[in-house]
Homo-oligomer: A and B are copies of this chain.
């Protein structure tokens, strides 16, 4: 069964297949006859969306991906307050029951790391991990890399500036692992001292031969970058004092940024990029969110062995 559990499971070949297919699906979606072009692709297939933790964005992205392709979607927003769980049912039992209802795929989000792997171990149908706590969120990592591929026209030979909470951002860490696997890029790590990338990730980068530099010079990084991936400080991950957001991208920086560069953000965006930047064509973060839906479409086709 084709489970999607963690970003690392995808090799370069499969990534390339998924990205090319996502491009094709984007092209079909702007066709006036979008419904006819897309709506039959997964007709008669059924997706369960089982969210043990609310996440409007990710849930709607998957639901829309499936429904644009003609799938039937059965969705739960609040699986964590269902009476079965309150009564003490294990995740494994829940998944085995849901499998019996014969979906073609279960997309699940859970608040515990490794929940998706536990689910896959007992599931009768493929599992897609839509985020499991501090663990993995593989479709976010895929959509990020896909956005680089789509916006830059390439996944190598790029200076990629990454900020600002390199210590805590799950999205950034997963992307860094994927970039190291792809290879051939240079990373510019921008953060305050206390939010620097963890040393085990740096060791990994060295081992894989991906060069990087650490800096706290925002303007330097913005000038040099071909890709700027700028995330918020993950306030929910701090128990003590939260450092202020010192690396804010605002309209004053736009003249510094290369004309062909672009700015990404995993969203939600808080104060790390000012809204006055949004109208600049290099602000790619909303397109990035849209790319997420198309990469999930391609992933659904792969999951159902139609790709």
Interface size, chain A (Cβ < 8 Å): 66
Closest to A72 in B: B67
In the docked arrangement, what's the CA distance between A34 and B102, Å? 11
Residues of the B chain whose Cβ atoms lie less than 8 Å from the Cβ of A64: 46, 48, 74, 101-103
In the docked arrangement, what's the CA distance between A85 and B57, Å? 10
**A101 close to B39 (CB less than 8 A):** no
A56 at the interface (CB under 8 A from B): yes
**A84 close to B55 (CB less than 8 A):** yes
Residues of the B chain whose Cβ atoms lie less than 8 Å from the Cβ of A93: 267-269
In the docked arrangement, what's the CA distance between A235 and B39, Å? 47
Which stretch, A9-17, A173-181, A182-190, A285-293, touches the partner chain B?
A: A285-293
- Of the candidates B46, B53, B96, the one whose C-beta lies within 8 Å of that of A83 is B53
Copies per complex of this chain:
3
Contact string against B for A residues 79-112, beta-carbon threshold 8 Å, 1 for contact and 0 otherwise? 1011111011110111011111111000000000
**A267 close to B57 (CB less than 8 A):** no
**B68 close to A56 (CB less than 8 A):** no
A246 at the interface (CB under 8 A from B): no
Max chain B C-beta neighbours (<10 A), residue from A57, A101, A293: A101
**A102 close to B29 (CB less than 8 A):** yes
Contact string against B for A residues 256-276, beta-carbon threshold 8 Å, 1 for contact and 0 otherwise? 000000000001111000010
Assuming the contacts A64-B46, A82-B55, A84-B55, asked whether A286 and B96 have C-beta atoms less than 8 A apart, the reply is yes
**A268 close to B84 (CB less than 8 A):** yes
A60 at the interface (CB under 8 A from B): yes
A5 at the interface (CB under 8 A from B): no
Q: Which residues of A contact B (CB under 8 A)?
A: 29, 34-36, 39, 43-46, 48, 50, 53-57, 59-61, 63-65, 67-68, 72-79, 81-85, 87-90, 92-94, 96-103, 232, 235-236, 267-270, 275, 278, 286-287, 289-290, 293
